[in-house]
Structure 1
Amino acid sequence: MPLYDFFCPACGEVFEDLCPPHGPDPACPGCGGQVRRLVSVGRGYRADADWIASVTRVVDKDNPAPHVQAFLADPSRAAYRAWMRGEKLRPLEPGEGIRRQDAAYAACETARREALARFAARRLCAA
């Protein structure tokens, strides 16, 4: 049987109970009154995106800065934005890409600069 949340309008108590989906609702444990079933989400639901968990793995947990500790204590979207501001980071704008900074990229960049320098030298000699 699923777990549901209930609200009692008579005494204001909110509680959860196991009951069948189409069966009668239980009585309020506080006053015995009639209750209303609340719309709720399951325990496995997370309001924040899955990527927040991956961000918390890379945050320096030994950093005593308040924005870091606040994000680790409450990994929500608002705390993530505050952490980004505290680290002086910004999200990528639409159209921006991540530049690769590996050895192959560095070798290509060096070759590109050398080719441009040789082209400029030839143009100066020809003129």
Structure 2
Amino acid sequence: MPLYDFTCRVCGRTFEAMAAMDGGEEICVCGGSARRLVSVGRGYRADGDWLASVAAVAEKDSDKPHVRAFLAEPSRANYRRWIRGEGIRPLEDGESRRRATTPPAVSHEVLERFKARRSRV
């Protein structure tokens, strides 16, 4: 029988108990009925999988404290400290890496046409 987490509906106590997989209720020490909680297994990690890819590009031989802390424990909090320490700003929603630029010759040509139209008026 597997071990599950339960919470009592009467006293609010949370406890572990062995129960059948198809059973959903247990009896608490106070005598009230307890419902089974949904819990996560050992493989669960609160931080995202992407943190490992960020840690892979961090400078491994750096002596900076924010880098050492991030490499020792790649969490979201340490990630924020790392990007602040490195002077990096993550992209906001809607931003892209490419910048739209107008070739200087085109913008000069447009400016000349504008000046020509203004002089005729």
Q: TM-score range by the shorter chain?
A: 0.5 to 0.7
Q: Could you tell me which amino acid in structure 1 is paired with residue 66 of structure 2?
A: H
Between the aligned partners of 1:49 and 1:89, the Cα distance in structure 2 is 19
1:80, CA displacement in angstroms? 0.7
Task: Kindly indicate whether residue 54 of structure 2 is the aligned counterpart of residue 55 of structure 1.
Answer: yes
Which runs of 5 or more residues in structure 1 are unaligned? 6-17, 23-36
* CA deviation profile, 1:69-98 (whole Å, cap 9, x unmatched): 100001111111111111122333344x12
* CA deviation profile, 1:26-70 (whole Å, cap 9, x unmatched): xxxxxxxxxxx9975312111111111121122121222110110
Q: Could you tell me which amino acid in structure 2 is paired with residue 54 of structure 1?
A: S
Q: Going by fraction, where is strand more abundant, 1 or 2?
A: 2
User: What TM-score, normalized by structure 1, do the two folds share?
Assistant: 0.56
Between the aligned partners of 2:74 and 2:3, the Cα distance in structure 1 is 26
- In the other structure, the counterpart of 1:124 is 115
Between the aligned partners of 2:38 and 2:106, the Cα distance in structure 1 is 66
Q: Aligned residues, how many?
A: 97
C-alpha root-mean-square deviation of aligned residues, in Å? Answer: 3.5
User: What TM-score, normalized by structure 2, do the two folds share?
Assistant: 0.59
- In the other structure, the counterpart of 2:104 is 113
Between the aligned partners of 2:60 and 2:96, the Cα distance in structure 1 is 25
- In the other structure, the counterpart of 2:15 is none
Between the aligned partners of 1:62 and 1:74, the Cα distance in structure 2 is 16
- In the other structure, the counterpart of 1:99 is 97
Percent sequence identity over aligned pairs? 55
Which runs of 5 or more residues in structure 2 are unaligned? 6-17, 24-35
